[in-house]
Structure 1
C-alpha cells in the first residue's frame, strides 16, 4: 500500500513515511493510492475480536510496511485496558429507542482524540527508532487534540511537541490538561487568535519545506493520515456491536447511520472511508455548531470559510473551526480523485475565498450518504437536559450537537449511532445550566485545576513561531 498527494505532486510513499510528514511535499494531503476493500464475510469474521485485535486487522491493510507482529504489539499497547476506563474500550450506550452513543471518551484525556493518538504515539516511536530520526510535532488544537497528543507523546525519545491553541477559547479543564504538563519535550503555545489562525500557522511552517526538513517537522493534527486510519477502527467496532443481536442471515444487509460532531472534518472523513471500504453505513450525518461552514457546504455545494473575526466562540469550543483541513480529502474523492481538478478548486478558494461545487451537490447524499445539520447553544442545553431526563446519561456539549442533529435525520428501521466526543466533566458549566447537576472532577484528576500551568503566549506571527521552534527542536 502506497500513499499519494491530493494535489498530485508527491511520489508514492509507504505508511511509515507519511506518518512523519503531515502535509504532503506539494502542500496537499496524503491519501491511499487505492482504498482497501472488505467483504461482508471478512467483517463478520471480526465479530469476536477484541478492540486491539480489530485495530490490528484493519490497520494492517494500511500499514503494510510495518510487520504484522509489530502492529499487533502497537495496538495491544495503545488500547491496553489500564489506559481506558471501559473494559471493552469503546462501549455502546442506548439513550432511547433509536439512538445509541458510541463511547469514545474512555481514554486518558476523556476525549475521542485518544482513540487515534494512543496508536499514533506507538507508531511514531517505532518508526523513529527504526530510522534513527527525530520528530518535532507542530499541531493546532481547539480543545482536545492537544491534550491527547501530549499525553500520547510525553517523554518519548526523539520527539518534541509544539502545540498551538487559541488564547481564551478552551475550557478551564482543557487548558489545565495541556498546560499542567511539565515534560521537557512538551511546549504549549497560546496564540492571540482563533483556532483557524493556529491551523494556518501549522500549515505555513509545514509548507516551508526548507524549515520543515531542517527541523524535522511533522504533525499529529488530523491532516496526519495515521489518525484518520486509526479512527476507522471504531466505525467497524460500532457496526459489529450494533449488529450483535441481528440474525446472522440478515447481517450483511444491516445498515446503521452515524452522526458525527464535526469541526475539522477528520472524524467523519474516517466514516466516509469506512463506508467506501464496504462497511454497511447508510448515512453519515455531520453535526456543526454555530460555526456551520460545513453544514452550509453540504446543503448548498458552496464552501466558503469564514474569517477569524467571523468565527464564533461557542459552548462546544472544539468545533469552533471555520476552515476544515480534511475536507480536501473528501473533495478529492468527489472530483474523481483527479489532482488537477482538486488543485483548481483550491486555487479558486485562494483567489475568491470560496469553492462552488453546486454541480456535484446531488451526489453528496445519493452517492456518499452525507447529510448535515446545525446546533446552537440553546439546542445544546435542551439536548443535554432531555437526554439526562430520558436516560439518566449526562453528555458533553459537542455530543449534544450530535444528538440534536441526529434526531433530525432518523429513518424508520435504521439505528442511529452518535459518536461521543468527550466526557461531560470537561464542560461542567453547560451541564449545570442544562440539568442543575454539579460535576466534580474524575477521581484520578481531582487536583488537575490546582496544578501549576506552563504556557507561552505568542502573537499570530509565523516568524516568531519559527524562532521559538528552532531554539527548542529535538535533533538527532
Structure 2
C-alpha cells in the first residue's frame, strides 16, 4: 500500500513514513492510492470478531510495513476492557425512534469510554502505541505538534504521556474550552507534555500547526509530527468503529445503515467516507454541525466559505467551534475524481485569496449526495437543550452537547427501515454547565476525575504566532 498527497506531490510513501510525517511536503494530506474493497464474504468473516481483531483485519489492509504479528499485538494492547471499560469497546445503545414515527431504529454508538471520555481516545490510544513502536524500531525521537478545540488535546496527551521518545506540544484556544476539558490537559505534570494556550480561536491553532509543518527545514531539524486527524494513521483507526457499529445494528451483510456524525473538522465523518468507499453498506452519512455551519453550508449549497476568528461562534458544543475543516480536503479530493491540480487550485489558491470556493455549478457537487451519500444539518443551543431533555426524559440517558447536535440532525434524515447510528462523541461531564442548564443537575462524574478542576495547572499562554510556537519548541527540545 502506497500513499499520495492530495496536492500531487510525486512521492508514493508507505505507512510508517507518513505516520511520523503528518502533512505531505507540498502541504497536502495523505490518502491511500486506492481504497481496498471488501465484499460480503469478508464482512461475514469479520462479523463477530473481537474489536482488537477487527481492528487488525482492517488496519492490515493499509499497513504492510509493520509485521503482521507486531501489528496484531499493538491492536490487542490498545483495545482492551481495562482501557475502554467494556469487551465490546464501542457498544450500541438502542433508542426506539419508532415511538416518534421516524420509521427506523436509532442507536447511539458509545465511543467515549476511553481514558479521557471522548471519541478521540479510540484512535489516539492506537497512535501512541504505533509511535512508540516505530520510534523504538528506528531509534529516533518525535516532537508532536497539535491543535485542539477540546478533546483531541487531552486524548493525545493521555496517550503519549510517559511514552519513550515522544514530546507533545499541544495548542488550544485560550479560554475557549470547558473547565473540565482545560483541567484534563493542564493538570498533567509529565515532563514530555507541553500545553500552549493560544490567544485566538481553534482555527488560529490549526493554522499554526500547518505553518510549522510547512517549514520543512524546521520540521526536519526538530522532528515535528502531528496527532491531529490530518495524520492518516488517526483517521484510519476511526474507520474500525464504523464496521463495529454496523455489525451490532444488523444481522445480514446486505443490510444498509446510516451514520450521523457531529463534525467540525471533518475527520470523524471522513473515516465514515473511507468505510463506505471500502464497501461497508452505508446508505447515508449525515453531517451535523453547531452554529459554526461551514460544512452544512457546503453540503446544502456547494459553497465552502471559511470564517475568520471574529465570525467563529463560541457555543455550548465547543469542540465543533471550527470554521476551517482541515480534513475536508481529503473528501474534496475524492469528490473531484482525485484531480490534484484542481484540488490545489481550490485549497491553495482560491481559498487563500478569497476565503471560499464554489462548486455549486460543478457536476462533481451532485456526487456528494448521489454517489457518496452525504447530507447535513445544523443544531443550535436551544436545539441542544431540547434534545438533551427529550433523551433524558424518554430513555433515561444523558448525552453530551455534541451528541445532542448529532441526534437532532439524525431525526431529520431518517429513512424507513434503515437503522441510524449516531456517533456519541463525549461523556456529558465534559460539558457540565450545559447539562445543568438542560436538566437542573450535574451529569455523572467518573471517580478518577473528582476535583480535577482544582488541580495545579501547567500551561503557557502564547500569542497566535507560529514564530513564537517555534521558539517554544526549540527551547524545550534540549
Give the TM-score category using the shorter length: over 0.9
Q: Distance in 2 between matches of 1:406 and 1:441?
A: 27
In structure 2, what is the equivalent of residue 113 of structure 1?
120
1:56-135 → structure 2 map (5 Å cutoff)? 56-97=56-97, 98-135=105-142
Q: Classify the secondary structure of the residue corresponding to 2:13.
A: coil
The structural deviation recorded for 1:349 is: 1.1
Q: Secondary structure at the match of 2:259?
A: strand
1:396 aligns with 2:400: yes
Q: Distance in 1 between matches of 2:322 and 2:400?
A: 18
SS at match of 2:154: helix
The match for 1:319 is 320
**1:10/1:26 contact within 8 Å kept:** no
State whether structure 2 residue 432 is matched by structure 1 residue 428: yes
Matched residue, 1:147: 154
CA distance in 2 between partners of 1:440 and 1:254 (Å): 36
Partner of 1:288: 289
* Distance apart, 1:352 and its partner CA: 1.4
Give the alignment partner of residue 241 of structure 1, picking from 245, 248, 256.
248
The CA deviation string for residues 211-249 of structure 1, in whole angstroms up to 9 with x for no partner, is 000000000000000011000000000001111xx3xxx
Tell me what 2:102 maps to.
Answer: none
Hey, what's the Cα distance between the residues in 2 that align with 1:101 and 1:75? Answer: 24
Deviation per CA, 1:340-398: give whole Å up to 9, x if none.
11111121111111111112322111010000000000000000000111100000000
User: Equivalents in 1 of 2:31, 2:357: separation in Å?
Assistant: 21
Structure-2 residue corresponding to 1:301: 302
- Say if 2:43 and 2:253, in contact at 8 Å, map to a contact too: no
User: 2:224 aligns to what?
Assistant: 217
Unpaired runs of 5+ residues, structure 1, are none
Alpha-carbon separation, structure 2, partners of 1:345 and 1:164: 27
SS in 1 for 2:85: coil
Q: Is the 8 A contact 2:335 2:365 kept in 1?
A: no
TM-aligned CA deviation for residue 439 of structure 1: 2.4
Compute the RMSD of aligned alpha carbons: 0.9
* Superposed counterparts of 1:309-348, under 5 Å: 309-346=310-347, 347-348=349-350
Tell me, in whole angstroms, the C-alpha distance in 2 between the residues paired with 1:468 and 1:17: 26
TM-score (norm: length of structure 2): 0.97
- Per-residue CA deviation, residues 431-459 of structure 1 (Å, 9 max, x unaligned), is 11111222252112113122111000001
Matched, 1:349 2:351: yes
Aligned to 2:101: none
Alignment partner of 2:448 out of 418, 421, 444: 444
What is the distance in 1 between the residues matched to 2:383 and 2:285? 20
Report the Cα distance in structure 1 between the residues aligned to 2:443 and 2:292, rounded to whole angstroms.
Answer: 27
CA distance in 2, matches of 1:390, 1:257: 22
Residue aligned with 1:253, SS: coil
Retained in 2: the 8 A contact 1:10–1:24? no
> Which residue of structure 1 lines up, in the alignment, with residue 273 of structure 2?
272
What whole-Å deviation, never above 9, does each CA across 1:389-414 have from its counterpart, x for those lacking one?
11000000000000000010011111
Alignment of 1:28 with 2:28, yes or no, is yes
CA contact under 8 A between 2:48 and 2:247: conserved in structure 1? Answer: no
Cα contact 1:302–1:357 (8 A) shared by 2: yes
Give the match's secondary structure for 2:253: helix
> CA 1:440/1:274 → structure 2, altered by over 3 Å: closer, same or farther?
closer
Helix, strand or coil at the partner of 1:252: coil
SS in 2 for 1:427: helix
- Please list, as runs of the form range in 1=range in 2, the aligned pairs for 1:32-43 lying within 5 A after superposition: 32-43=32-43
CA distance in 2, matches of 1:361, 1:466: 39
2:198 pairs with 191, 194, 197, which one? 191
The answer to whether the Cα contact below 8 Å between 2:302 and 2:365 also exists between their aligned partners in 1 is yes
C-alpha distance in 1, partners of 2:55/2:159?
17
State the Cα distance separating 1:37 from its structure 2 match: 0.8
What is the Cα deviation at residue 111 of structure 1?
0.2
Per-residue CA deviation, residues 116-144 of structure 1 (Å, 9 max, x unaligned), is 00000011111111111110000000000
- Asked whether 1:371 is paired with 2:375, we answer yes
Kindly provide the CA deviation profile for residues 7-62 of structure 1, in whole angstroms up to 9, marking residues without a partner as x: 11140111001010110011100110111111111011111210011001100001
Q: Does 1:258 align with 2:259?
A: yes
Q: TM-score, normalization: structure 1?
A: 0.97
Offset at 1:258? 0.3
Q: Distance in 2 between matches of 1:303 and 1:75?
A: 37
